């Protein structure tokens, strides 16, 4: 029971790191980015290549995976995404689906279609016992890293100048621009950072979520659930939503395996019908 | 202008909209001629006809009502499984009746789920439609006793059409059958979109708030068109099952819904032929590229999508504009004074 809760929390934390970039993209520019998973996949493959082929230590590869996805996100944002912001949602959907297909087939071509694994340091394998509950070491690490990241993000958002600019831009981009905030600059940085976080999440998730070229398609719906259920107006909404999703998914698969992912999808639809703005959204009409 | 002449004018407008022009007639004549002229290509032509019908269905809700759906395969797949199950269990063995039953079943599903797409923004609709398709796929996957699960529905045996025409292995009967169904469904769709009902849909797409203000029951209209479109998709799915004698989980796949959007975007939305033309181009392209690189074919689809959006959808589909202008000029029955084009 506690182990399931623990696994669920680790899974949820991971989902949060993967999806929080998407929340910002969606909230800030009202941009539907279905290709978010592609950045996560890029980070994951970056880690696998660094650790397995080039022999980097695991912890050195993690920041590099972050950096790789962030740079990739920044370049794509400046070259391609900027042209699509003002287009209708249908165009955004088509564009990002196109990117997903390209990334899936491209990675398939370069890396092969099989599932890949990363070599973990030996001290991260196995379990430790805390009060009689077996906790996976790697999952514990994920919780620690993701927890620190979440606190860090929350601090950046609430305490720094950049954070207040970002919040202002999310709340009302036009007024923010009028106040002299460089909204597109803020957005480019945030997009890169969000992609980087996705890459880091993808890298951390190689062990738990598995990694193969269809990753962006498989987890696209999960990211979207986190964002739509959590709402895009704060960082706590998506955080709580990812924890719920993580625990719900792990518990659902454990207790009622016959239903599979069915429960999650149904809950998502119900929530969307019940509260189209998300469960934890503030009552702001957008 | 008194009421009677106004009604007359409106009636003339509607009649002018629904008039057949030369290119349309030519299009269907060419389609008919392929039954006799291209007997070796009937297998791929069957696929084109089915995809065309499926795209027609999406055009009804996307091109006319402006609902973005990323899970239209839900109804396609539902129709496919219903047709398969009807055949396997021998409930309705006559293919045409089974087709009708599958379409009605899909319509029922469309009606039930249509209430989910009424609320919320584009993103909510995308998510909900995607979710419905995923739920159905998961249901089909889990209930293996009924659907065969991941192995697909085995043992589908399709009886001769109307008790007369056997489905042969070269797909001649299948193609004629699909083309006939497509044509009938197309006529129906053409009638629907040119009716006052169709016009009200376009006004909803243009501006739901104003449409409601002039007295159009927006939600009821959206429910109606979503239901109709679901029926179309169900028929398309049923055709797939009947012509291939097989149904698998693949019918619910996300790729299918995404490809469908591409098909419609290639051909252009909102004039019904977009889906058919798009289906032809898409299948020919798929045939060509997948012969070169079978595994990496999605890459080229993706690239095409990105390029289309970058260049601009309007410019991509504007290649049909001169043709449409030409047809207007070719129309020998066109009124002397051109009717001003309605702007939604």
Q: How confident is the model at residue A260 (pLDDT cuts 50, 70, 90)?
A: low
Q: How confident is the model at residue B326 (pLDDT cuts 50, 70, 90)?
A: low
Which residue of chain A has the CA closest to B71? A221
Mean pLDDT for A171-185 is 84
Residue B313 forms part of a structural domain: yes
Q: How confident is the model at residue B268 (pLDDT cuts 50, 70, 90)?
A: confident
The tokens of A21 are what? 């970039």
Residue B208 forms part of a structural domain: yes
Burial letters B72-93, b for 16+ CB under 10 A, else e: bbbbbbbbbbbbbbbbbeeebe
Round to whole Å and give the CA distance between A69 and A59.
Answer: 16
Please tell me which residue, B227 or A86, carries the higher pLDDT value: B227
Measured between CB atoms, does B70 come within 8 Å of chain A? yes
SS3 A211: strand
Asked whether the predicted pLDDT for residue A272 surpasses 80, the reply is no
Closest CA to A22 of A229, A161, A286, A249: A229
Asked whether the predicted pLDDT for residue B141 surpasses 90, the reply is no
Mean pLDDT for A51-77 is 86
Round to whole Å and give the CA distance between A7 and A138.
Answer: 10
- Given this model, what pLDDT does residue B237 score? 92
B127 vs A87, A108, A224: nearest CB: A224
Q: Name which of A25-34, A40-49, B70-79 the model is least confident about.
A: A25-34
Asked whether the predicted pLDDT for residue A285 surpasses 50, the reply is no
Q: How confident is the model at residue B315 (pLDDT cuts 50, 70, 90)?
A: low
The tokens of B112 are what? 């039930």
Mean pLDDT for A109-137 is 73
Mean pLDDT for B283-291 is 85
Residue A129 neighbours by CB under 8 Å, 6+ apart: A135
- Given this model, what pLDDT does residue B338 score? 47
Round to whole Å and give the CA distance between A168 and A148.
Answer: 24
Please tell me which residue, A117 or A81, carries the higher pLDDT value: A81
The tokens of B175 are what? 């193609």
Domain of A170 in residue numbering reads as 2-213
Residues 140-179 of chain B whose Cβ lies under 8 A from any Cβ of chain A: 141-142
Round to whole Å and give the CA distance between A48 and A54.
Answer: 9
The tokens of B11 are what? 């009636």
Residue B269 forms part of a structural domain: yes
Domain of B197 in residue numbering reads as 9-330
Asked whether the predicted pLDDT for residue B298 surpasses 70, the reply is yes
Residue B271, domain CATH:
1.10.3470
The count of domains in chain A is: 1
For the purposes of burial, counting CB atoms within 10 Å of the CB of B20, is it exposed (0-12), middle (13-18) or buried (19 or more)?
exposed
Round to whole Å and give the CA distance between A80 and A99.
Answer: 10
- Judged by CB atoms closer than 8 Å, whether chains meet at A108 and B308 is answered as no
Measured between CB atoms, does B120 come within 8 Å of chain A? yes
Please tell me which residue, A260 or B16, carries the higher pLDDT value: B16
Q: Name which of B81-95, B163-177, B280-294 the model is least confident about.
A: B163-177
The count of domains in chain B is: 1
Mean pLDDT for B100-121 is 87
- Judged by CB atoms closer than 8 Å, whether chains meet at B138 and A265 is answered as yes
Round to whole Å and give the CA distance between A199 and B203.
Answer: 44
Q: What's B296's DSSP letter?
A: T
A92: enclosing H helix or E strand: helix A89-111
Mean pLDDT, chain A, rounded, equals 81
Asked whether the predicted pLDDT for residue A262 surpasses 80, the reply is no
Closest CA to B205 of A90, A76, A5, A218: A90
Residue A275 forms part of a structural domain: no
The tokens of A31 are what? 């941009």
Closest CA to A228 of A34, A8, A6: A34
Q: How confident is the model at residue A280 (pLDDT cuts 50, 70, 90)?
A: low
Round to whole Å and give the CA distance between A47 and A206.
Answer: 9
- Given this model, what pLDDT does residue B216 score? 85
Report whether B140 contacts A260 (CB < 8 A): no
Residue A32 forms part of a structural domain: yes
Helix, strand, coil percentages (3-state) for chain B, rounded to 5, are 75, 0, 25
Asked whether the predicted pLDDT for residue B143 surpasses 70, the reply is yes
Round to whole Å and give the CA distance between A97 and A107.
Answer: 15
A94 vs B119, B122, B261: nearest CB: B261
Asked whether the predicted pLDDT for residue A157 surpasses 70, the reply is yes
Which residue of chain A has the CA closest to B254? A217
Mean pLDDT for A41-58 is 85
Mean pLDDT, chain B, rounded, equals 82
Residue at token pair 């199950």: B85
Residue A222 forms part of a structural domain: no
The tokens of A277 are what? 């703005």
Q: How confident is the model at residue B227 (pLDDT cuts 50, 70, 90)?
A: very high
Please tell me which residue, A48 or A128, carries the higher pLDDT value: A48
Q: Which residues of B touch A97 (CB under 8 A)?
A: 258, 261, 302, 305
Q: How confident is the model at residue A142 (pLDDT cuts 50, 70, 90)?
A: confident
Asked whether the predicted pLDDT for residue B337 surpasses 50, the reply is no
**Phi then psi for B153, rounded to 5 degrees?**
-85, 110
Q: Name which of A214-223, B59-68, B310-319 the model is least confident about.
A: B310-319
pLDDT for B157-213, tens place per residue? 777 777 667 777 677 888 888 999 999 999 999 888 888 888 888 888 888 888 888
Residue B91 forms part of a structural domain: yes
Please tell me which residue, B52 or A122, carries the higher pLDDT value: B52
- Judged by CB atoms closer than 8 Å, whether chains meet at A269 and B132 is answered as yes
Q: Which residues of A touch B300 (CB under 8 A)?
A: 105
Round to whole Å and give the CA distance between B272 and B275.
Answer: 6
pTM, two decimal places = 0.83
Round to whole Å and give the CA distance between A74 and A67.
Answer: 10
Residue B221 forms part of a structural domain: yes
* Total residue count of chain A as it appears in this document: 286
Could you give the percent of chain A with pLDDT greater than 70? 89
- Judged by CB atoms closer than 8 Å, whether chains meet at B124 and A272 is answered as yes
Measured between CB atoms, does B314 come within 8 Å of chain A? no
Mean pLDDT for A210-222 is 83
Q: Which residues of A touch B127 (CB under 8 A)?
A: 224-225, 228, 268, 272
**Phi then psi for A134, rounded to 5 degrees?**
-80, 120
Asked whether the predicted pLDDT for residue A228 surpasses 50, the reply is yes
pLDDT for B23-49, tens place per residue? 888 888 888 888 888 777 888 888 899
Residue B339 forms part of a structural domain: no
A91 vs B62, B254, B313: nearest CB: B313
- Given this model, what pLDDT does residue B101 score? 92
- Which pairs with CB-CB distance under 8 Å and at least 24 residues apart come from A219-224? A219/A18, A219/A37, A219/A40, A220/A34, A220/A36, A220/A37, A220/A100, A221/A265, A221/B130, A221/B131, A221/B134, A222/A15, A222/A18, A222/A19, A223/A15, A223/A18, A223/A19, A223/A22, A223/A36, A223/A37, A224/A22, A224/A34, A224/B127, A224/B130
Round to whole Å and give the CA distance between A141 and A139.
Answer: 5
Mean pLDDT for A36-45 is 89
Asked whether the predicted pLDDT for residue A20 surpasses 70, the reply is yes
Residue B340 forms part of a structural domain: no
- Given this model, what pLDDT does residue B233 score? 93
């Amino acid at each position: 029971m506690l182990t399931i809760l623990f696994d669920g929390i680790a899974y949820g934390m991971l989902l949060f790191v993967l999806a929080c970039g998407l929340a910002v993209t969606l909230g800030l520019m009202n941009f539907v980015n279905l290709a978010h998973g592609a950045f996560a996949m890029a980070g994951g493959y970056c880690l696998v290549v660094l650790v397995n082929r080039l022999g980097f230590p695991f912890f050195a590869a993690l920041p590099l995976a972050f950096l790789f996805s962030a740079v990739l996100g920044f370049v794509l944002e400046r070259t391609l995404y900027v042209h699509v912001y003002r287009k209708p949602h249908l165009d955004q959907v088509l564009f990002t689906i196109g990117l997903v297909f390209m990334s899936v087939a491209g990675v398939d071509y370069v890396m092969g279609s099989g599932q890949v694994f990363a070599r973990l340091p030996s001290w991260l394998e196995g379990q430790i016992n805390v009060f009689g509950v077996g906790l996976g070491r790697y999952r514990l690490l994920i919780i620690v890293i993701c927890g620190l990241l979440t606190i860090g993000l929350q601090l950046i958002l609430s305490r720094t100048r950049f954070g207040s600019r970002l919040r202002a831009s999310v709340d009302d981009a036009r007024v923010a621009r009028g106040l002299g905030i460089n909204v597109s600059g803020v957005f480019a940085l945030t997009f890169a950072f969000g992609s980087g976080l996705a890459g880091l999440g993808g890298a951390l998730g190689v062990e738990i979520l598995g990694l193969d070229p269809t990753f962006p398609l498989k987890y696209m719906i999960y990211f979207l659930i986190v964002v739509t259920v959590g709402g895009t107006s704060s960082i706590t909404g998506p955080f709580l939503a990812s924890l719920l999703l993580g625990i719900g998914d792990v518990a659902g698969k454990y207790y009622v395996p016959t239903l599979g992912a069915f429960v999650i999808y149904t809950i998502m639809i119900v929530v969307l019908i019940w509260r189209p703005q998300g469960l934890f959204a503030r009552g702001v009409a957008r | 202008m008194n009421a009677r002449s106004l009604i007359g004018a409106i009636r003339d407008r509607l009649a002018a909209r629904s008039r057949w022009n030369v290119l349309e007639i030519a299009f269907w004549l060419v389609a008919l001629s392929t039954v006799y002229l291209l007997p070796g290509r009937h297998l791929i032509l069957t696929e084109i006809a089915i995809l065309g019908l499926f795209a027609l269905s999406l055009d009804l809700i996307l091109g006319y009502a402006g609902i973005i759906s990323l899970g239209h395969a839900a109804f396609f797949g539902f129709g496919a499984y219903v047709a398969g199950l009807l055949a396997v269990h021998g409930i309705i063995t006559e293919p045409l009746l089974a087709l009708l039953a599958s379409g009605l079943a899909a319509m029922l599903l469309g009606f039930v789920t249509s209430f989910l797409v009424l609320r919320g923004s584009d993103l909510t609709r995308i998510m909900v439609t995607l979710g419905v398709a995923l739920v159905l796929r998961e249901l089909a996957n889990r209930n293996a006793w009924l659907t065969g699960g991941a192995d697909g529905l085995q043992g589908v045996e399709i009886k001769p059409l109307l008790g007369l025409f056997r489905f042969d292995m070269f797909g001649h009967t299948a193609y004629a059958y699909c083309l006939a169904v497509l044509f009938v469904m197309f006529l129906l769709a053409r009638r629907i979109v040119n009716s006052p009902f169709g016009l009200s849909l376009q006004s909803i797409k243009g501006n739901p708030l104003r449409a409601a203000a002039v007295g159009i029951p927006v939600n009821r209209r959206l429910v109606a068109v979503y239901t109709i479109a679901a029926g179309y998709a169900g028929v398309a799915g049923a055709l797939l099952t009947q012509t291939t004698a097989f149904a698998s989980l693949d019918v619910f796949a996300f790729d299918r819904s995404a490809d469908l959007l591409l098909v419609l975007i290639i051909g252009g939305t909102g004039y019904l032929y977009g889906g058919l033309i798009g289906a032809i181009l898409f299948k020919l392209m798929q045939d060509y590229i997948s012969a070169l690189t079978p595994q990496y074919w999605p890459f080229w689809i993706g690239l095409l999508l990105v390029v289309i959006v970058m260049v601009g959808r309007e410019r991509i589909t504007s290649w049909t504009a001169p043709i449409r202008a030409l047809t207007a000029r070719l129309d020998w029955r066109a009124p002397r004074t051109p009717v001003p084009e309605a702007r939604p």
